[in-house]
Amino acid sequence: MNDFKVKVKDLSLRYGTNSALKNISMDIPEKKVTAFIGPSGCGKSTFLRTLNRMNDLIDNVTIDGEVYIDNINIYDKNIDVVNLRKKVGMIFQKSNPFAKSVYDNIAFGPRINGISQKSRLDEIVEFSLKQAAIWDEVKDRLFNSALSLSGGQQQRICIARTLAVNPEIILMDEPASALDPISTGKIEELIHELKKQYTIIIVTHNMQQAARTSDFTAFFYMGDLVEMNRTEVIFSNPGKKQTEDYISGRFG
């Protein structure tokens, strides 16, 4: 039981009458990288957002089923969603640093959580930037605007900002799709390092990226989970013809 950080049971989601996810059940292992692949509009990003209840922010959404994180159903009515989103951090497709200094971007979450001592904030900022593999690039620019950095650097600042509140799970929605190949490589190396401490779930359109970065891969199609397995199995010997057709480029 303890090997799975997230257990999803019969999860369905509708926007109005439009069914976006259909009876998804999945176990996501702890301190591994799980990739979600599938064509645009297949439900993978929607499913990712059910894991920290980001879909709650959208009007006219109906969600049925259960999502357990550490054996607690996050859709239970007593759940503190703010605490949930601290535990389950999210990195978006487009980097979205605040229009503040690098330092204030990273210190933002800890300050909200009541940490005000400068020496403690300094420690958290340095530690988080080091974890996000960007400390050496920004240590002399901590009080410059984060918006003055390159796209790839901004995305790593967003990762550091997420790490600063000490999450257990990191959701990444196409984190490198807007980046050049060198920046993408840095994000992929970072994912490899971070999984030693965090459970990482990544949505990607890039099949090679899924193959390179993930331990497990789940293939979605038209709101269904077609199959999930170890990444090497999905890419070399998938169990379903639909998966094979998608991976070999016959559709999608």
pLDDT beyond 80 at 160: yes
Taken as a whole, the chain contains a residue count of 252
Give the global pTM: 0.95
Residue range 36-54, pLDDT digits in tens = 999 999 999 999 999 999 9
User: Using CA atoms, how far apart are residues 91 and 121, in angstroms rounded to an integer?
Assistant: 22
Residue range 100-156, pLDDT digits in tens = 999 999 999 999 999 999 999 999 999 999 999 999 999 999 999 999 999 999 999
pLDDT in the model for residue 2 = 53
Q: What secondary structure letter does DSSP report for 11?
A: E
pLDDT beyond 70 at 226: yes
The terminus-to-terminus CA distance of the chain in angstroms comes to 35
pLDDT in the model for residue 252 = 64
pLDDT in the model for residue 130 = 96
**Residue 71 near residue 1 (C-beta atoms within 8 A):** yes
C-alpha 201, offset from chain centre: 5
SS3 content of the chain, % helix, strand, coil (to 5): 40, 25, 35
